[in-house]
Structure 1
């Protein structure tokens, strides 16, 4: 039969903790230098009298005005409902203001498109391509020239925006650069990828 193991008592545990806590370490690297600011904060938060019921420590269990403190923090249900209704009213007004701003932008865009149509439709349709380009809908389906292509060439054609400045071109500067690399070929076409 196994012997019964008794639980350690508070007195034996506290003696053991005091004995091990009071022994200084022989390792100089484990020594923690004392900082007066840290000690002051520790003494303020955890005073030696914190275990006494009359202690007014911030972390202690006793506060002389604990009922008043709790009542100041916990509001009644009517105040909570009032705050919640005010918040919902604020959110509703914010949504209405945002919707009105979007409607105003849409109305301005419609007016601008009608003006562009009126300007470009007269005298033989000069600049009509501007209106048609403005009214074109973006297609999110892959273009016909991508079908049958794979890898880097397909990705190259997917990200190219029609009518935009090509990404491969040099950035215009005031001073003359190295110029254009005429041997450069688009990836996937079997050309040279060397730079000058």
Structure 2
């Protein structure tokens, strides 16, 4: 019955306040508030033989803790075992990461051994120098710029393309939809 109490059944403190003030200083006018307060916040938290107290404290909590954890040494042993477990897990993670790093380093060394000497320098040099491309699109773009015309996306793409990095079959990036794959494409004879 106490749990089903609604707000309408609880007494109001407003009439006892006398027009304002601290509501905690007001004396309750109804014994039902005292009963509710005693149930929620008991003065003596539990009877000595009670197994489940309502309050936050229990009369014989020290004896109960001693029954669960008989000694300080047992607690320290459990703590040391847990720290040892954490250390072993960390060492296992470190071994796995070290093995991955060693494998990655070996793969990079193998890649350097297999790669021809100077390939990296060739890619860098070709990217840094302006190649005339010897293509009609590039020369047409240069002539158009000289005449005051704007560059087309195709000419910009061809002008900025680094040979060997982008396949010749790659589409020119445009905002409109592409024409699809050209199955009749053949490599130009001059390139």
Band of TM-score, shorter chain: 0.3 to 0.5
TM-score (structure 2 length as normaliser): 0.37
Q: Larger radius of gyration, structure 1 or 2? A: 2
TM-score (structure 1 length as normaliser): 0.36
